[in-house]
A and B are shown apart, each in its own frame.
Chain A
Amino acid sequence: MKHHSLKIAVAGTLLATAFASAPAAAADKACLITKTNSNPFFVKMKEGAEAKATELGMELMSFAGKVDGDVETQIAAIENCTSAGAKGILITASDSTVVPALEQARKAGLLVIALDTPLDPTDAADATFATDNFKAGLLIGEWAKAKMGDSAKDAKIALLDLSTAGVSVDYQRDNGFLQGFGIDIKDPKKMGDETDPRIVGNEVTAGNEEGGRTAMENLLQKDSGINLVYTINEPAAAGAYEALKAVGKEKDVLIVSVDGGCPGVENVRDGVIGATSMQFPLLMASLGVEAIAEFAKSGKKPENTEGLDFYNTGVKLITDTVAEGVESTSSEDGLKLCWG
């Protein structure tokens, strides 16, 4: 990864000098640093930020790590934003290793807003604009419980997580789902510490189809009676479905997921995914840019949603099977709201 941070650093420096020497230096700069460029979620986030920045007459500098977990690139980007004189940074942190670099940026007078992924500690950012990922998990958990009815007490659950790194999104969705389903989650910051016999096991998927398929195959080998599958996102869910189809079980197993990407919502429509919690990356980013503009103008910092330690950008349950007591939106309406 070293070579990459260097490359970004060089590119960033060039950009910075380019901006610094631009005659129209009046425009305020904002930075957007995402985990990767590859995930449509972040692509959408960037679109939202760019649109809002243009509207407000700001200059947006975008950076991204190469893969999920690429911290060095993110740290280099934070440093470059600071030296470029940006007013604020919007960041989806790969993990909380970036906190010291962000502290330096805040000392230099930048507004730091965490998007999508809360930092640890949360107050390392001036504000957090995020999906309530625990809530996102909770909704699909409650839905699955209502859908299964009495058989929920004999459910056999496979948990397809993101990685072993302990990323907050990962454990929040996982634990939210389990709590919604009525399982004692022990430590809400840990995955796999539950002792409920209904859980067959946790596997990691890297959040893509290939990982989802292999993980599902291995858990099915552990227990072929699995009938409920939680997945970290919709590509992993699509992979899990392929594994189930290969053994002719796709009709007997309920898959739930989180994200709300358009292919994912289409998969809800086609019956691949039972229900998914949709989040709103575009809104996160445009709110973030607005907050930086406001901060540049008046020095005012954004406030959190009441009762939470972040600003909740909302989450919607998308499903075509309405379950009692759980509010939901149909896949048809979901397709109008989906991102990517």
Chain B
Amino acid sequence: MAKQDFEAVLDGSDKNVAKFQQRRSFTEQVHHILHGNITIVPMIVLLLSLAVFGMIIGDRFFAPFNLSLIIQQVSIIGILGIAQTLIILTAGIDLSVAAIMVLSSVVMGNVAVTMGLPPVIAIPLGFITGMICGAVNGLLVTRFRLPPFIATLGTWNIFFALNLWYSGSQSIRSQAIDKTAPVLKFFGTRVEIFGTQFTYGSFLMIALCILFWYILNRTAWGRHVYAVGDDPEAAELSGINTKRTLVSVYIVAGLLCGIAAWAAVGRVGSISPQSFYEGNLEAITAVVIGGTSLFGGRGSVIGTVIGALIVGVFRNGLALAGVDVLWQVFAIGWLIIIAVAFDQWIRKVSA
């Protein structure tokens, strides 16, 4: 069929189907990869900081014992960080995590040591304490529609005060625990492998991290947590009961704080109502440095544990290098700011 006159013009034109531009500049590609794999950045930071401190301090820093010690040191904040990650994934924040943990450990200690009941009762009671505290937070956020920041700011004070009241501000000594309920210190049990020294607490953190990575990525509940944080309206429209999901997240986080309480008794040795006063902020620091977005819906518990390790490496490395404590604090401050600035940049990707 002969062409009509007006069709002749097509001969000189582009015949390709419309499509998106394929070629990206190098930065755009990096940007894209980072957006898809949020734990890459914290991983790189961790490796870099290990390398830098290794160069400055040398063998002492790279000694297997020292590296395993860092894992021990961050294990409690790491577990609190996992709880915090769950909440931040829903675009919330929990300022009460450490207070819940300390309160739970005081409950365990008072029931097992002071009252002399068997640990089989004391430890679950500690877990239940954590879950009740979490449920209170969850209800304040859903039922009473309080912003999570305000709700948990309030409960932080309340749980902390209850802890001081119930413990009489007095530590329960390590020797007293050994005598009556040594199982409270179970997670302080040491394991030595090839010159390293781990505690059961170190393994607990890693196990919980893997477990929650699985739950968040491979179960319906986990998917719902991400969905609720990413866009609560869309989640609601797609049939997710957002309120029930939120409450369950706070309860699970409370349970994790209860578990952290048990591990903390092993780590600290005694039951100390005054330890971990700033544990909530340290947990948030780990989450943020680990690349989880404070805006919700994006992040990973693996990142959080790496974030906790980065802080631990900085503290330990700077201390070994003989740097004054206030400069350690200074360095952590910069880490937080850089991490969040980076998150903002990554979120700008348009694909």
Q: Does A274 contact B (CB under 8 A)?
A: no
Contact between A209 and B320, CB atoms less than 8 A apart: no
Give complex CA distance A222, B274 in Å. 27
Segment at the A interface, from B37-45, B140-148, B163-171, B333-341: B163-171
Give complex CA distance A43, B170 in Å. 10
Contact between B319 and A241, CB atoms less than 8 A apart: no
B164 CB contacts on chain A under 8 angstroms? 37-38
Give complex CA distance A259, B9 in Å. 96
Contact between A340 and B322, CB atoms less than 8 A apart: no
Chain B, Cβ-Cβ closest to A192: B324
Q: Does B223 contact A (CB under 8 A)?
A: no
Instruction: State the main secondary structure of chain A at its contact with B.
Output: helix
B314 to chain A, nearest CB (A): 12
Give complex CA distance A152, B175 in Å. 29
Contact between B168 and A43, CB atoms less than 8 A apart: yes
B188 CB contacts on chain A under 8 angstroms? 242
Pick from B73, B169, B174: contact of A238, CB under 8 Å: B174
A214 CB contacts on chain B under 8 angstroms? 73, 315
Interface digits, B309-351 against A, CB 8 Å rule (1 contact, 0 not)?
A: 0000001100110101110010000000000000000000000
* Most chain B CB inside 10 Å of its own CB: which residue of A43, A208, A340: A208
Q: Does B55 contact A (CB under 8 A)?
A: no
Pick from B73, B173, B272: contact of A217, CB under 8 Å: B73
Chain A, Cβ-Cβ closest to B150: A3
Give complex CA distance A219, B322 in Å. 9
Give complex CA distance A208, B171 in Å. 9
- Interface residues in B, total, Cβ within 8 A: 39
Pick from A208, A222, A340: contact of B319, CB under 8 Å: A222
A171 to chain B, nearest CB (A): 14
Give complex CA distance A238, B271 in Å. 11
Contact between B173 and A263, CB atoms less than 8 A apart: yes
Contact between A201 and B269, CB atoms less than 8 A apart: no
Assess A235 versus B274: contact at CB under 8 Å? Given A164-B326, A221-B66.
yes
Contact between B275 and A210, CB atoms less than 8 A apart: yes
Contact between A67 and B277, CB atoms less than 8 A apart: yes
Chain B, Cβ-Cβ closest to A270: B175
Contact between B274 and A203, CB atoms less than 8 A apart: no
Assess A210 versus B268: contact at CB under 8 Å? Given A201-B322, A272-B175.
yes
Contact between A242 and B174, CB atoms less than 8 A apart: yes
B168 to chain A, nearest CB (A): 7
* Most chain B CB inside 10 Å of its own CB: which residue of A201, A218, A246: A218
B270 to chain A, nearest CB (A): 5
Pick from A206, A238, A245, A246: contact of B173, CB under 8 Å: A238
B76 to chain A, nearest CB (A): 8
Q: Does B224 contact A (CB under 8 A)?
A: no
Give complex CA distance A247, B195 in Å. 11
Q: Does A292 contact B (CB under 8 A)?
A: no
A192 CB contacts on chain B under 8 angstroms? 324
Chain B, Cβ-Cβ closest to A263: B173
Instruction: State the main secondary structure of chain B at its contact with A.
Output: helix
B269 CB contacts on chain A under 8 angstroms? 209, 213, 238-239, 241-242, 245
Give complex CA distance A209, B168 in Å. 16
Give complex CA distance A277, B274 in Å. 21
Contact between B169 and A221, CB atoms less than 8 A apart: no
Pick from A213, A245, A272, A340: contact of B170, CB under 8 Å: A340
A329 CB contacts on chain B under 8 angstroms? none
Give complex CA distance A266, B177 in Å. 14
B174 CB contacts on chain A under 8 angstroms? 238, 241-242, 272
Give complex CA distance A336, B24 in Å. 77
Give complex CA distance A267, B270 in Å. 12
Assess A209 versus B169: contact at CB under 8 Å? Given A217-B69, A218-B319, A221-B66.
no
Contact between A235 and B169, CB atoms less than 8 A apart: no
Q: Does A330 contact B (CB under 8 A)?
A: no
Q: Does B245 contact A (CB under 8 A)?
A: no
Give complex CA distance A198, B296 in Å. 51
Q: Does B267 contact A (CB under 8 A)?
A: yes
Give complex CA distance A206, B164 in Å. 17
Contact between B326 and A238, CB atoms less than 8 A apart: no
Assess A238 versus B171: contact at CB under 8 Å? Given A164-B325, A204-B325, A206-B277.
yes
Pick from B171, B190, B324, B329: contact of A209, CB under 8 Å: B171
Q: Does B273 contact A (CB under 8 A)?
A: yes
Q: 16 new A-B pairs (CB below 8 Å) besides A37-B164, A213-B268, A235-B274? A: A40-B168, A164-B326, A208-B277, A209-B269, A210-B268, A211-B275, A217-B69, A217-B73, A221-B319, A221-B320, A222-B319, A238-B171, A239-B268, A241-B269, A242-B269, A246-B197
**Which 5 residue pairs of A and B lie closest in terms of their CB atoms, listed nearest first?**
A242-B269, A210-B275, A218-B319, A209-B272, A164-B326
Show 27 A/B contacts (Cβ-Cβ < 8 Å), sorted by A. Answer: A37-B164, A37-B169, A40-B169, A43-B169, A67-B277, A164-B324, A164-B326, A164-B329, A206-B277, A208-B275, A209-B275, A210-B264, A210-B275, A211-B275, A217-B73, A221-B60, A221-B316, A221-B319, A222-B320, A222-B322, A238-B173, A238-B174, A242-B188, A242-B269, A242-B270, A267-B175, A272-B174
The residues of B with any CB-CB pair to A shorter than 8 Å are 60, 65-66, 69, 72-73, 153, 157, 164, 168-171, 173-175, 188, 190, 197, 264, 267-270, 272-277, 315-316, 319-320, 322, 324-326, 329
The residues of A with any CB-CB pair to B shorter than 8 Å are 3-4, 37-40, 43, 67, 164, 192, 201-204, 206-211, 213-214, 217-219, 221-222, 235, 238-239, 241-242, 245-247, 263, 266-267, 270, 272, 340
